[in-house]
Amino acid sequence: MLASVFIGTSLDGYIARTDGALDFLPPGGGEPHGYAEFMATVDALVIGRKTYETVLDFDEWPYGAKSVFVLSTHALASAPGGRNRGTALGRAEGNRVGA
């Protein structure tokens, strides 16, 4: 199994503003940075609850038909269009706490 990480950060090292806003990112992603090529190489994603809640507000579901596993100890809203969002995983010994 191969695990890879792709993360974007601001110049000051943050991945979002304190309120979760991503307004520092240019519309449409700006210049090419390898994200599309990276996404073509993965079968599933693991994201945190706050990222999941942020992308729920996007105009389009950004992960296509890929399985998305959300790390959270909270109940999760359903992904749009019945997309497969995988399983919510809890902290305590990695137990599943919701689906």
Which residue, 13, 22, 9, is CA-closest to 50?
22
| Predicted pLDDT of residue 92 | 39
* pLDDT of 96 higher than 50: no
Show me where the domains of the chain are located. 43-98
What is the Cβ-side half-sphere exposure of residue 57, based on CA atoms within 13 angstroms? 7
Phi, psi of 67 (to 5 degrees): -70, 140
Tens digit of each residue's pLDDT (9 = 90 or more) over 54-92: 888 888 888 888 888 888 888 887 776 655 555 555 443
**φ, ψ at 92 (rounded to 5°):** -65, 105
pLDDT given for residue 79 in this prediction: 74
8-36, pLDDT tens digit by residue? Answer: 777 777 777 788 777 777 777 777 888 88
- Where does residue 71 rank: exposed (0-12), middle (13-18), buried (19+ CB within 10 A)? middle
Percent of the chain topping pLDDT 70: 80
